[in-house]
Structure 1
């Protein structure tokens, strides 16, 4: 067995080497010490699963003592290794979101594939019960080192939700009996990894009338036609949520209105949001029809049958600002467009309640939830017509 004196005396070699802390019963696993050429000495817990060696890093000596490493080893030995891998857990979470038709399903699928599955292929193939806080930290640390800031908190949140799905499956007596794939989870490793709070400041940027007019007149020449008309449609429709608008198929667009399924609520609480057309909205839809009247989505991306992705639209807005910094008072993003419309519709004379209804906000008071069944179509139609007139006068026709 290892001793502190032996560990202290170990010298680094040209190649790293490992020393075992004695023998364990078959299948239990063993404590290993890895000595790197740099002189760093790391404790690992090693076990075999399906004939393969699986190592879990415990800590670095001397910050972690030999006694503490052995204590962690005893904890690791009690972990029951189930067949479910980290990738299986990610897939189960995405399937759940898609089954609920959640608004975030496509973004979660893209981000977990891009930042986790593709970036850490060996990690996602491991049994998910062996994924610890250190592994989650490494995923987010790579994002930060690559220059990703706020979105690393989004990925953390997505991973936390994925592990919660696994825990619910593991401990819900009804779902546990129905599911063949087991994860063996006992806790959520993401909970120990802190949120980067300084990247979570709520946005307050709203473009002025002059800035909105500047943006409007930059669109045709500096963005693709589809992206340009989509941004115009978002503005003229009063600032609808881009992710919801983009996932609305052509069959949801009718003669005098379109229907957006509001997917922001919890399962069972999501509702249909009706948005009447005004003259400027019709103009953008006409341009899209001239490109194709049969596409699945009016604002179709480069791939036939696929809508333009929200991430692409967001990047386009950010790059547009970057090319014309001198024309705006400060930076803005796609998320600020909705806030801008909400603010300037107030300048145009629309009441806050009407602006909320146009943007599809939920009304949580008892009267609205349980008694008010009025559709407010006429009120929204009149409000969007007034907004269109204001945009013509102050934005579209401004020279």
Structure 2
């Protein structure tokens, strides 16, 4: 068959073909359709049957391009004699690969970002009724989500130690060294939560993270940012703090009253008192009611007897905040945040108010609000209060039948608590009198 010309193809009324390559390589076929269009095919024989594979529409594809494609198909047929079946398989493989890539892209789009992980972790803390959940949420929102939107927008599984360091480094550089360690702890805990909870059937969030490791583990915790060693204040330090905490710059009267109230009540946990509304403070019955929550379980109620010293503090708080739902509130809309006592102690330690001896410059040694609880426990010990009564007053976990009895009937513990708080208050009075 001679080579076709464009004029011959354009004038075509039926069909015409030209040979491709050598003998048996097939032919380039043109056929005019009823619509008038001319279609190009590669024609060959397989198993005594004529097969045709469409190349395209002449006019949209030039005659030269049709020849190139037909020759390419002829060359491919030498390797795959059943060319049509081979091309169908190739197309099926392409579609399968495209579907696989689409599924991967869909999975990647659904894979959670670091922001998603942090928000899931915050929701978990609130669901578990963790006391510090609101403060942890504030730190995560301010120091991570708002400060580094580019990093938190990354997929959580793509976060490496360098990214974790980039999140934490600004906190350290601004001098908030204790905050740095706390923020590192929260970031580490968020990744740890993601690692262990993703395949937990009870988990409400269905986000997928596919974490393989905890990148924060490689970021060093700084000793310089750790809290002061656990300790108890001396009697002189406790008296000085009681007298002078209200003189500290940027520590208001309400915060100073709260710090004294912690001491007056035998070192009760600040958070439980802070979130308790006025309805939980019965000044007539001289009892404070607080709740201990763990997850979705029914809260455990604790009743704390209020001495005259504690009541005097509450009456002053009433004058300040009696119109609000909570005693310990700055705005009336929410209780104060859990970090308020800690920040107040830090400011006291940095302020001239902490100087006990002007001549020598001796100051109150560093401590934390938690040390006030430990100090109260040691005062009770020196006052001869039995260990189980000390634990009962501070609402430490009790064991045995007594615990079950008190848990179901917190009023039953009040007589023993009154014995403990009365002895403690007598010892405290001697200390505060100097």
TM-score under structure 1 normalisation? 0.70
8 Å CA contact 1:318, 1:334 repeated in 2: no
User: Per-residue displacement from partner, 1:67-112 (whole Å, max 9, x unpaired)?
Assistant: xxxxxxxxxxxx9563422112211111121122211211211221
Deviates more, 1:314-323 or 1:185-194: 185-194
Equivalence for 2:149: 121
Give 1:197 shift: 5.7
Equivalence for 2:396: 361
DSSP-derived class of the 2:122 partner: helix
Greater radius of gyration (CA): 2
Q: Distance in 2 between matches of 1:380 and 1:134?
A: 52
Q: 2:307 aligns with which of 273, 278, 286?
A: 278
- Pair 1:200–1:227, CA change in 2 (3 A): closer
- Pair 1:141–1:210, CA change in 2 (3 A): same
DSSP-derived class of the 1:272 partner: strand
DSSP-derived class of the 1:376 partner: helix
Q: Distance in 1 between matches of 2:110 and 2:173?
A: 33
User: Per-residue displacement from partner, 1:283-339 (whole Å, max 9, x unpaired)?
Assistant: 1111111223231211112x2222222323322222223223431352333332222
Q: Distance in 1 between matches of 2:245 and 2:213?
A: 49
User: Per-residue displacement from partner, 1:193-220 (whole Å, max 9, x unpaired)?
Assistant: 3444675577333221122122222244
Q: Distance in 2 between matches of 1:103 and 1:194?
A: 26
Number of residue pairs the alignment of both structures matches? 322
TM-score under structure 2 normalisation? 0.65
Equivalence for 1:211: 237
Q: Which runs of 5+ in 1 are unaligned?
A: 1-24, 29-48, 51-78
8 Å CA contact 1:236, 1:281 repeated in 2: yes
- Pair 1:367–1:140, CA change in 2 (3 A): farther
- Pair 1:231–1:201, CA change in 2 (3 A): closer
Instruction: Report matched runs for 1:95-174 at 5 Å.
Output: 95-173=123-201
Give 1:275 shift: 1.0
Instruction: Report matched runs for 1:3-18 at 5 Å.
Output: none
Q: Give the aligned CA root-mean-square deviation in angstroms.
A: 3.2
Equivalence for 1:33: none
- Pair 1:164–1:330, CA change in 2 (3 A): closer
- Pair 1:201–1:321, CA change in 2 (3 A): closer
Give 1:239 shift: 0.8
Q: Which runs of 5+ in 2 are unaligned?
A: 1-96, 357-362
Give 1:224 shift: 2.0
